[in-house]
């Protein structure tokens, strides 16, 4: 820019990366270029929110996505959950997948639902990386996820049919959420879609790692106790956390609710 003889530069958002933060601005100013910063800053950051979030925190931007019945279950007591929502809502969710770098699920979901974790939209150029958080029990060799060479997060080295095992610290063979998040960011996976199930989602919510939420509320009533979206105890009202509901819309017969936990 200096060599090209540009007279004035307008910068929306300064790159918070400590390796560069503001140094380019100083060089431009030293060369006599007029520099204005912070114009439409919020809009500029919104172009790539995961980048800014990662540079400030070292963590990926995690979006929790789940589908529940109108009366709040993400699966029936026998663990079946296909399908709580309509074809239209599931197609909508495939757009979320397509916009993500990685899809994160717990081993329980792999064992029960046998997902492929692909985006089944025609226009997807790069498929998101499938990531499985493994625990104590194994995942059968015939699971479809092995066709996708997943990243497997584990507290110990594992022999897996395909993919890469990333060992992180954890308790009782359950990888620690923050260590997992950092490991993903270190691999350049900055936009992570956390698709549950309830145990993994509950842990990540509890660790304060969820920055955005997309909840599909299906036009179905379970009519009894199934699995809740977040496993764990909700002992007293003081434990609840406020969220900003940013959008509510119908997707076919179902509802999509977007929210951000307050203070994130």
Determine if 136 is a binding residue for ligand NAP (CB under 6 A): yes
Question: What minimum distance in Å lies between the beta carbon of 246 and ligand NAP?
Answer: 19
In terms of CB distance, is 13 or 64 closer to ligand NAP?
Answer: 64
Contact 121, 94 (CB under 8 A): yes
Both tokens of residue 213? 């939420």
Chain residue whose CB lies nearest ligand NAP: 135
In terms of CB distance, is 125 or 137 closer to ligand NAP?
Answer: 137
Question: What minimum distance in Å lies between the beta carbon of 61 and ligand NAP?
Answer: 19
In terms of CB distance, is 52 or 204 closer to ligand NAP?
Answer: 204
Question: What minimum distance in Å lies between the beta carbon of 24 and ligand NAP?
Answer: 40
Residue from 128, 145, 133 nearest 177 by CA: 133
| DSSP string over 63-130 | EEEEEE-TTS-SB-TT---TTSS-HHHHHHHHHHHHT-SEEEEEHHHHHHH--------TT-SSPPEE
In angstroms, the Cα distances linking 4 to 1, 28, 34, 68 are 5, 12, 14, 56
In terms of CB distance, is 136 or 249 closer to ligand NAP?
Answer: 136
Q: Which residues inside 63-122 make contact with ligand NAP, applying CB under 6 A?
A: 66-67, 74-75, 79, 81, 84, 105-109, 112-113
In terms of CB distance, is 75 or 102 closer to ligand NAP?
Answer: 75
In terms of CB distance, is 13 or 134 closer to ligand NAP?
Answer: 134
Rounded to whole angstroms, the Cα distance separating 63 from 83 reads 21
Rounded to whole angstroms, the Cα distance separating 140 from 168 reads 22
Question: Helices in the chain by DSSP H: which ranges?
Answer: 23-30, 41-46, 49-57, 87-98, 107-113, 177-186, 198-206
Contact 101, 63 (CB under 8 A): no
Question: What strand order describes the sheet that includes 151-154?
Answer: 164-167, 151-154, 129-133, 102-106, 191-194, 61-68, 210-217, 254-261, 243-251
Judged by DSSP in three states, 210 sits in strand
Q: Which residue has the tokens 């080295």?
A: 157
Region binding ligand NAP by CB under 6 A among candidate stretches 37-45, 129-137, 160-168, 181-189: 129-137
In terms of CB distance, is 113 or 191 closer to ligand NAP?
Answer: 113
By rule CB under 6 A, what string of x and - marks binding of each residue 138-177 to ligand NAP? Answer: ------------------------------------xx-x
Determine if 25 is a binding residue for ligand NAP (CB under 6 A): no
By rule CB under 6 A, what string of x and - marks binding of each residue 192-221 to ligand NAP? Answer: ---xxxxxx--x------------------
Binding site for ligand NAP (CB under 6 A): 66-67, 74-75, 79, 81, 84, 105-109, 112-113, 133-137, 174-175, 177, 195-200, 203, 227, 231
């Amino acid at each position: 820019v200096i060599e090209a003889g540009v007279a004035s530069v307008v910068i929306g958002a300064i790159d918070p990366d400590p390796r560069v933060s503001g140094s380019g601005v100083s060089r431009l100013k030293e060369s006599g270029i007029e520099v204005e910063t912070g114009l439409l800053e919020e809009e500029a950051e919104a172009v790539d929110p995961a980048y800014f979030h990662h540079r400030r925190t070292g963590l990926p931007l995690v979006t929790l996505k789940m589908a529940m019945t109108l009366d709040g279950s993400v699966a029936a007591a026998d663990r079946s959950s296909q399908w709580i929502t309509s074809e239209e809502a599931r197609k909508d969710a495939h757009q979320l997948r397509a916009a993500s770098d990685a899809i994160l699920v717990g081993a329980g979901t792999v064992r029960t639902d046998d997902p492929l974790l692909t985006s089944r939209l025609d226009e997807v150029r790069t498929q998101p990386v499938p990531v499985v958080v493994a625990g104590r029990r194994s995942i059968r060799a015939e699971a479809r996820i092995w066709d996708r060479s997943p990243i497997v997060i584990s507290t110990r080295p594992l022999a897996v049919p395909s993919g890469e095992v990333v060992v992180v610290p954890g308790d009782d063979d359950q990888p620690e959420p923050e260590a997992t998040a950092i490991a993903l960011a270190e691999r350049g996976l900055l936009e992570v879609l956390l698709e549950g199930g309830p145990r993994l989602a509950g842990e990540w919510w509890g660790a304060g790692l969820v920055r955005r939420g997309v909840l599909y509320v299906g036009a179905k009533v379970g009519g009894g106790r199934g699995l809740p979206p977040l496993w764990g105890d909700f002992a007293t009202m003081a434990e609840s956390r406020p969220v900003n509901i940013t959008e509510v819309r119908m997707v076919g017969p179902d509802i999509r609710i977007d929210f951000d936990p307050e203070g994130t």
